[in-house]
């Protein structure tokens, strides 16, 4: 590929990465994203390229802080490159599913692409695939709560810090004590869970990983403290330890329970764990038998309680007692 062609493709890639106002992307973020796409270019060259392209495209530059942040004018409409039917269909279905999972700020950043995909499909009459979204829907498992609102600057700065590996000074509202605390955070990952998004980070000079709900961050700025990396950290490994299941301890437990046939049917198709055993037929009292190795966490207990009297826990004894105690408290509250 000639140098001129390489520059052209880099320009096209850069234009695709720039969001519409009021959302911005810092030049450092653009540099990292371009490198992921195979374009290695200095930060000064990116800034110079953007200045050149602003003479031909409605680009806006926020110079109030460094690194500079760039966006397209809010009214600018373009698709680079043009959509195809399969891509447009994927975007429409993704919007339906992600709207209840991702923070609104992230959905807003994709809104232009979602809108373009819908218009593309609406404009096609002779392509049966274009009408696929009328017959296929994606819904989350269980009750989906309305996602909490996250400040635009919080989302932008956190994602940029995670990508470019720098520390953050934040003021954070504690949920348990409803008090404000100041921390220096060293970002390690982001997890979207149900209607909330969490920053995984170490705090100040400590090495243990903690979770911070993004909507509880009251103020956030890049820190002058050096970033404390953890090269071995893996988000998947962290989640697999049960960190988001409200663990009671690090050990798994052997769940033994009587379950109604309708629950047994569900678990025969979608097992509770990799280690599970079910009886095929109900006993004389209409119960099937379940044994499964599960995490010792509150999340699993809440899942069991959601079935009410259709699941009767036999072991662990501590789970059985906890579930019965909560049932008595509910009945006592009604009395």
User: Contact 73/20 with Cβ under 8 angstroms?
Assistant: yes
How are beta strands 196-203 and 180-193 bridged, if at all?
antiparallel
- Dist CA 259 CA 311 (whole Å): 5
Nearest to 47 by CA among 67, 32, 65, 33: 67
Lowest-pLDDT range of 182-196, 231-245, 283-297? 231-245
Instruction: Kindly state the average pLDDT of the residues 306-310.
Output: 87
* Position with higher pLDDT, 297 vs 43: 43
Instruction: Kindly state the average pLDDT of the residues 200-204.
Output: 93
65: DSSP letter:
S
Q: What is the pTM of this model?
A: 0.57
- Dist CA 99 CA 108 (whole Å): 10
Angle formed by the axes of helices 27-36 and 43-53, to 10°? 100
Q: 152-240 has which CATH code? A: 2.30.30
Does residue 271 register a pLDDT over 80?
yes
* Position with higher pLDDT, 298 vs 109: 298
pLDDT at 2: 46
Instruction: Kindly state the average pLDDT of the residues 109-118.
Output: 76
Q: What is the pLDDT of residues 125-148, one digit of tens each?
A: 656 666 666 677 666 666 666 677
Instruction: Kindly state the average pLDDT of the residues 229-244.
Output: 81
pLDDT over 90 for what percent of the chain?
Answer: 23
- Type and span of the H or E element at 277: strand 276-278
pLDDT at 333: 54
Q: Which CATH architecture has domain 247-334?
A: 2-Layer Sandwich (3.30)
- Dist CA 279 CA 291 (whole Å): 9
Does residue 1 register a pLDDT over 50?
no
Does residue 42 register a pLDDT over 80?
yes
Tell me the domain boundaries of the chain.
3-72, 85-134, 152-240, 247-334
Instruction: Kindly state the average pLDDT of the residues 204-219.
Output: 90
Nearest to 210 by CA among 174, 180, 178, 159: 174
Q: 335: which 2 tokens?
A: 């009395």
Q: Which CATH architecture has domain 3-72?
A: Orthogonal Bundle (1.10)
- Dist CA 7 CA 17 (whole Å): 15
Nearest to 316 by CA among 330, 332, 331, 300: 300
Average pLDDT, the chain: 81
pLDDT at 107: 72
Lowest-pLDDT range of 63-67, 85-89, 206-210? 85-89
């Amino acid at each position: 590929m000639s140098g001129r062609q390489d520059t052209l493709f880099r320009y096209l890639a850069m234009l695709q990465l720039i969001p519409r106002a009021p959302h911005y992307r810092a030049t450092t973020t653009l540099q990292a994203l371009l490198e992921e796409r195979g374009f290695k270019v200095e930060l000064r060259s990116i800034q110079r390229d953007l200045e050149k392209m602003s003479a031909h495209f409605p680009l806006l530059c926020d110079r109030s802080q460094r690194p500079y942040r760039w966006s397209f004018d809010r009214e600018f409409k373009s698709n680079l490159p043009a959509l195809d039917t399969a891509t447009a269909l994927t975007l429409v279905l993704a919007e339906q599913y992600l709207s209840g999972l991702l923070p609104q700020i992230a959905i807003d950043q994709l809104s232009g692409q979602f809108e373009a995909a819908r218009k593309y499909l609406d404009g096609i009459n002779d392509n049966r695939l274009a009408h696929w979204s009328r017959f296929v829907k994606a819904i989350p498992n269980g009750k989906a709560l309305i996602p909490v609102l996250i400040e635009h600057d919080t989302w932008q700065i956190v994602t940029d810090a995670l990508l470019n590996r720098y520390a953050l000074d934040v003021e954070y509202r504690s949920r348990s004590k409803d008090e404000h605390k100041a921390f220096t955070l060293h970002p390690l990952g982001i997890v979207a869970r149900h209607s909330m998004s969490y920053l995984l980070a170490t705090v100040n000079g400590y090495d243990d990983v903690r979770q911070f709900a993004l909507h509880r961050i009251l103020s956030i700025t890049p820190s002058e403290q050096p970033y404390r990396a953890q090269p071995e950290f893996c988000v998947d490994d962290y989640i697999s330890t049960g960190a988001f299941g409200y663990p009671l301890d690090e050990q798994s437990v052997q769940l033994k329970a009587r379950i109604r046939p309708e629950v047994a049917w569900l678990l025969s198709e979608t097992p509770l764990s990799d280690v599970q055993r079910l009886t095929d037929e109900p006993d004389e009292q209409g119960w099937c038998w379940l044994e499964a190795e599960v995490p010792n966490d509150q999340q699993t207990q809440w899942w069991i309680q959601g079935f009410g009297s259709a699941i009767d826990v036999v072991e662990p004894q501590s789970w059985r007692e906890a579930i019965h105690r909560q049932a008595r408290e509910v009945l006592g509250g009604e009395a």
